[in-house]
Amino acid sequence: MKFIITGGAGFIGSAVIRHIINNTNHNVVNVDKLTYAGNLESLKSIEDDSRYVFDKVDICDVVEIKRVFNEYQ
């Protein structure tokens, strides 16, 4: 299974991503625009995991969100 997590660089999103990567065999796509409270430092421990991908995207950008869904489906 593959999860797309929006706001994955934030406190809750990063905790969800770390839990999925550390406790399952699932893949995660982290979608965050990094302008509010995003901090990729909290994901350093998993950034090299092949099941984790970060894509800097604003979820209000419909074209980019469609690209993310098409690219990572």
- Give all domains of the chain, ordered by start, each with its CATH number: 2-72 (3.40.50.720)
Mean of pLDDT over the chain: 95
Report residue 28: phi and psi, to 5°: -135, 130
Residue type, 30: N
30, pLDDT greater than 90: yes
Compute the half-sphere exposure of residue 35: CA atoms within 13 Å on the CB side of its CA.
5
Q: What is the pTM of this model?
A: 0.91
DSSP string spanning 42-67?
Answer: GGGGGTT-TTEEEEE--TT-HHHHHH
Chain segment 34-52, per-residue pLDDT in tens: 987 778 999 999 999 999 9
Q: Answer for the pair 57, 45: CB distance below 8 angstroms, yes or no.
A: no
pLDDT at residue 36, as a whole number:
77
pLDDT in tens, 8-23: 999 999 999 999 999 9
